[in-house]
Every structure is written in C-alpha cells, then in structure tokens.
Chains A and B, each alone.
Chain A
Amino acid sequence: MALTSAFMCFGNKKVIKLICTHYAKCSNISALSVKQNFSENVLETASEDLSHITPYFSNTFNLAAYVNNSDTLKKLVDINVDLSKIEKKPYIVNKILKLDFENHMKEHIVFLNDYIGLDEVGNFLTKNPLILCEPIQDLQVRVNYLESKGFQNDQIKRIISWNPFWLMFNTIRIDRRFGYYQKSLQLTGKEVRDLTTRQPKLITYNLHHVKCNMFVIKEEMGFEDEEMKNMVLNKPKLLMMSQQTLLERFNYLHNVMQISHRTILKYPEVLFSRNFKIKQRHLFLSKLGRAQYNPTKENYIPIKSLVLDTDAEFCNNIAKCSVYDFNLFLKTL
C-alpha cells in the first residue's frame, strides 16, 4: 500500500505503467488486472507520512541547487564558507558532498577553532575545503610536530591561519622543506622559525619557483648570499613573486633610475610596487629636475616615497606641486 501511494504523489503515468508491468511480471498476474488495481488506488488518498520522499537530485553545475535541501551545506554557509568559490573545482565538490556535518566536519571545525578562531574558519574552509577529508589525528600530529620544533603557541596559530594549506602537508615533507630553507639560506634554527612565522606560505610554496627566484636575486640581480638572506628574512614575499616581474622592476630601479643595490637592500618593498607606479613618479620627478636619490647630496628623495602614500600626498610632500599638475603629466605619457 505504501508503495502505491508513493507513486501517486509523483503522479507520473508512465512511471506507474512501468512499475505495473514490472509488478505483474514478478507476481505472475496479468498486467491488465494489476493496472486496474493500481488505478483504483491512485485515486485514493494516502494515509501514511510521505514527507521523507523527495524527487532525486539531478546533475547540476553549482551547489546552489542542493543547498536548500542539505543541512550540511546550510551549516557551512552559516559559518561563512563561500560555496561559490569551492564549486569552481568539481573534484573538491565531489568529495565535500559526501561528508556529513555532524559526523565528519564538526570535529575538524572544533579543532580549527582552537587555532584560528571561529570568524576565520569560514575563510579557511573556503580556501582549503579538503582539510575536512584529512583524519583529525593527522592534523594533531602535524601541530605536535610544530610544537616539537620549538614553535610557540601563538606562532603556530599564526602559521595555521595564514597558510590554510599548511596542515595538508605531512610532517616528513614539512621537515624536508625546513631543511631545504635552512641549507640554502644558511639559517639558524631561530631564523627558520622566524621566517616560517613571518610568511608561512613560503615553506609550502612551489620549491622550483623559490629556487628560480633565488637564482634571479643572486645571479641576475647580483646580490650577495648574506644580502639575500637578510632580504628574504625581512621580506619573504620576494621568493614568491613572479621572476619576470621581479627582474623587470629591479631592472628599472637599478639600470634606469641608477639606484644602488645598497639602497634597495635598505628598502626591499620597492620591489613589491607595480612598475608603472614607480615609473610615473620617477619620470615626473625627473621632469621637475628633482629625481635625486643619493642621500649624501642635497634635495634627496627617499626611495620609499616612490611607492608609499597616495598621489596627493606624494605631490604635496615630495614633488612639492599640485596633484592637478601630476595628473596632467600622466596624460602625456
């Protein structure tokens, strides 16, 4: 009886017909009589609770089709996980959809909450949802490894919240990478810890890329080993930049603007600024005849003023003219 009324709620004649014939074959009753039997029952009102029966979920291009029917996804949205970003990678979605909030996710979220705080959990899971598929013991082991290496508690918190992918790396890999950085930059244990805390992403970054950047800094830009070490410890991001832009910016600073290595060493942030910004300000200053970057001579322009501050502040304090003039100049480039 429950079966027949279930069909009723679909109200699809074709389905009923199909099931009827199937039913008839099984029970060796003539199809016609069964059909009649069904059609009588179809008109009857069902007395059982059918709220657990739902139409099946068809294939979809995004998670929005499922979210209203899934408590797990709803809870993820409630803790600010951006599903629209996760669904860009279907292989991750396939894994996430098989998980259940109570059984598979809760422990992980409680675990993460201890290190990064509840506000950041959503952001963290948006970036690395696959952490929900890692066994919780492994995560604990990886945190314990950091503790054993002498990291303070707040350092560990910073590492995990700044680099959501850190916990995906097993301890052997992390250990090898620590070793690599220690050897290639000749760091002491404390310096490795400082570097890791300052920029946790560097440790898990693509090592080939890091190697290439070290080559660019040492061989192509011509810094000494010791200088590179200081620069990297100060600004670890240098090793994660694209080599091409790094070289392009250095080339402009060193070969066009004639800025020495020593000045760049004092303020390596100039290499983070986009080239057109430095170019604009430098050309403007040289047009005014004020492009003088040597601190021992008069009218010295500090190199950091080329990248810091807004254009208005730059014009006021450094170029000593109005922003309007600067804008007019930009329209002649």
Chain B
Amino acid sequence: MVKFKNAASAYKTLNGLICVYKPPCVPVKQVQHIIKTNLCRDLNALPVRPREQRVEIVGATNEPMMVKLVPNYADDPLVCGPRYIHEDIRCSWATHLGLFSSGVLLLGINEGTRLTYKINTGRPTRAFKVHGQLGKATDTYFWNGKTVERSTYHHITREKIDQVVAHIQAAHQKTMFEMSGLHMESQTTYELASQGLIRPASSKLPVIYGIKCVDFKPPNFTLEIQSINEYDKYLWTLVHDIGVQLRSTAHCVGVNCIRQGKFDLELALLRKHWQLEHIVDNMNQCSQLLEENEQLLKPESAVLTA
C-alpha cells in the first residue's frame, strides 16, 4: 500500500486506469460521483498546500511606506473552499454497464481518460455471467418487469439448454464474418479466418463469441457469455429467446460482468475499497497489466486476442 506525504504528490500519481466492481442498482454515473467524492475527501485529509503569502504595501503615502509579507487570507481553505474539488478530477468509463448489471467497470482518472477511449475503440471482449429464471416472461425481459406469461419448465433438461445455446453460438459465428467488414470470398478473409476469431468492424451490433450454460438448477440457470458490443438489454433478450426456443419462457434475473479484456474480477475494487490508497494501488496494477498487453490499447489485427 502506498503512503503519501502530501496531497500534491498523491494528486500527481492519480493518472491512469482503475478497475472497480460496480454493484447492481447503482448507476455508472453514481459510481463516478462516489469515486470523485472519495478521492477529494482523502486528498483534502492529507497535508495540503499551505496558505500563500501576500505582499502588502502599507503606511501613509507621504512617508516612506512599508513592504510587508502577510498571510493571504483569500487563499485559506476556509475562504476559497477545500483544495481539491470534483472539478479537479476527471473521470470517464471505458464501456457502459447498465443500471442493473454489476461487475467489472473500467474507469479512467485524469490522464487515464484517454486510455478508456483507446480501450473502447480496441474493443476487448467482455465475459458475462447471466442469470436467468425459467417459467415466467416479463415485458422488460428482466425481473423488474410486468409478468406477461407463465409456463411450465419441467420438460427442460440440461441437454436441451446446451443444444439451444450451441445453436446460438453457431449462428453468431456466421455474423462474426459478416461484421468483420471484409469481402466474404477474398484471400484476406480466409487468412484472418484461418487464425481464429475476428473482431467486428462496427461498434454497434453485438457479436457473441462464446455462450455456455454453466449452471442449471431448474428454474434457475446461468449462462456464461463472451461477446463484444453487447449491452444489458441485449443480454436480457437473449435469455428471453432461449426461453422461447426451449418451448417455455424465461426472464433475466441478473447480469454480472466477470471480465473485460484482461481485467477480471480479481482486480476489481469493491465499494468499500474506493479510497485513495486502494485506488492508487489498483491503478498501478492496471498500468502494469496494460504494459504487458499492448494489444489491449493498440490492436494490430482484427484477430481476437484477449
């Protein structure tokens, strides 16, 4: 753990990427706000810059005047406010996580805001654990929606769900080539395809690379999904579709992002650890990870690596 002597040196080190664990039902905006508030609080608690001095020329004007150095009251934290405020800290997220989703969230702080842009354009894959429940369909495809349909689910077995999920994965393999922006019958496409999976060219349409049922205890089931360009509503509809294809109904009860690029849950900071020391610590780990994996920021080819 890093210990800081004064606030200025701490503020200087606050440039980079951090990886936090976003709890469900807390919007990303609020996560940003909490982190900014906590950083300001911790920075102001450290020894801050002392009050500046001020030159004053005093005395009668018709006599030799005195030049004095007096403390500048206008620079006192009691007058001009605390030394570090929200506006001093920039903070941006790499990829958005919906309100009800939880999991790994990459945030850039100060100079790190550029890194988040680069990571976003580098399109790393994200892995999700999507929890679904069979037997009920809702109008929002999520647990908070109105129930629109109920059905039985006793006929569903692990094999059936695996089959449906495998179909979805196969269908997405085909779209992956279409999304790569290359001509389907060219040599380049062949060479890329022979190396493995390909990144999509656009940032709009979701592509699923892997989908697998990892847990099945009727009526609950859990899917593990690796994908790019997805968003929470898309994952909810996916669960709904799986329910329909299983001749039943299903709705999503939770979305948990477990990995983004090389950043996994192990690295993510929990809400109770959103403090200056932990954040700086996490920042160092993240920068080390970025140094080891340059392809995260500057992918050289469309082949999927991370």
Which A residues have a C-beta under 8 Å from some C-beta of B? 9, 46-51, 62-65, 67-68, 73-74, 77, 80-84, 276, 311, 327, 330-333
Within 8 Å CB of B82, what residues of A? 84
> Residue A51 contacts which of B24, B58, B72, B102 (CB distance < 8 angstroms)?
B58
Is B46 part of the binding interface, using a Cβ–Cβ cutoff of 8 Å?
no
**Is the pair B79, A49 in contact by a Cβ cutoff of 8 Å?**
no
**Is the pair B61, A50 in contact by a Cβ cutoff of 8 Å?**
yes
Within 8 Å CB of B227, what residues of A? none
Interface string of B50-86 (1 = CB under 8 A from A): 0000100011111100000000111111111110000
**Is the pair A327, B78 in contact by a Cβ cutoff of 8 Å?**
no
Interface string of B235-279 (1 = CB under 8 A from A): 000000000000000000000100000000100101110000000
Tell me the nearest residue of chain B to A82, going by C-beta: B78
B interface, size bucket:
20 to 34
Minimum Cβ distance to chain B for residue A86 (Å): 10
Within 8 Å CB of A83, what residues of B? 78-79
Tell me the nearest residue of chain B to A5, going by C-beta: B61
Q: How far is the CA of A73 from the CA of B58 in the complex (A)?
A: 19
Tell me the nearest residue of chain A to B61, going by C-beta: A50
Minimum Cβ distance to chain A for residue B224 (Å): 13
> Residue A77 contacts which of B59, B78, B102, B256 (CB distance < 8 angstroms)?
B78
Tell me the nearest residue of chain B to A74, going by C-beta: B73
Within 8 Å CB of A48, what residues of B? 61-62
Q: What are 20 A-B pairs at a CB distance below 8 A?
A: A46-B62, A47-B62, A48-B62, A49-B60, A49-B63, A51-B58, A51-B60, A51-B61, A62-B80, A63-B79, A67-B79, A68-B54, A77-B76, A83-B78, A83-B79, A84-B80, A84-B82, A276-B23, A330-B21, A330-B270
- On whether A331 and B58 interact (CB within 8 A), knowing A64-B80, A68-B74, the answer reads no
**Is the pair B78, A331 in contact by a Cβ cutoff of 8 Å?**
no
**Is the pair B265, A64 in contact by a Cβ cutoff of 8 Å?**
no
Q: How far is the CA of A331 from the CA of B73 in the complex (A)?
A: 48
Which B residues have a C-beta under 8 Å from some C-beta of A? 21, 23-24, 54, 58-63, 72-82, 102-103, 256, 265, 268, 270-272
**Is the pair B80, A81 in contact by a Cβ cutoff of 8 Å?**
no
Residue from B24, B72, B76 whose CB has the most chain A CB atoms within 10 Å = B76
**Is the pair B73, A333 in contact by a Cβ cutoff of 8 Å?**
no
Tell me the nearest residue of chain A to B65, going by C-beta: A51
- On whether A333 and B80 interact (CB within 8 A), knowing A51-B58, A276-B23, the answer reads no
**Is the pair A67, B73 in contact by a Cβ cutoff of 8 Å?**
yes
- On whether A51 and B59 interact (CB within 8 A), knowing A68-B54, A331-B265, the answer reads yes
> Residue B24 contacts which of A65, A73, A327, A333 (CB distance < 8 angstroms)?
A333
Within 8 Å CB of B72, what residues of A? 68
Minimum Cβ distance to chain A for residue B84 (Å): 13
Tell me the nearest residue of chain A to B21, going by C-beta: A331
Within 8 Å CB of A81, what residues of B? 78
Minimum Cβ distance to chain A for residue B277 (Å): 16
Within 8 Å CB of A73, what residues of B? 73, 79
Tell me the nearest residue of chain A to B268, going by C-beta: A331
Minimum Cβ distance to chain B for residue A158 (Å): 26
Q: How far is the CA of A82 from the CA of B80 in the complex (A)?
A: 9
Q: How far is the CA of A77 from the CA of B268 in the complex (A)?
A: 43
With A82-B78, A330-B21, A331-B270 already in contact, 18 other A-B pairs whose C-beta atoms are closer than 8 Å: A49-B61, A49-B63, A50-B62, A51-B58, A51-B60, A62-B79, A64-B79, A65-B74, A67-B74, A68-B72, A73-B79, A77-B78, A77-B79, A81-B78, A83-B79, A84-B82, A331-B103, A332-B256
Tell me the nearest residue of chain A to B70, going by C-beta: A68
Minimum Cβ distance to chain A for residue B116 (Å): 21
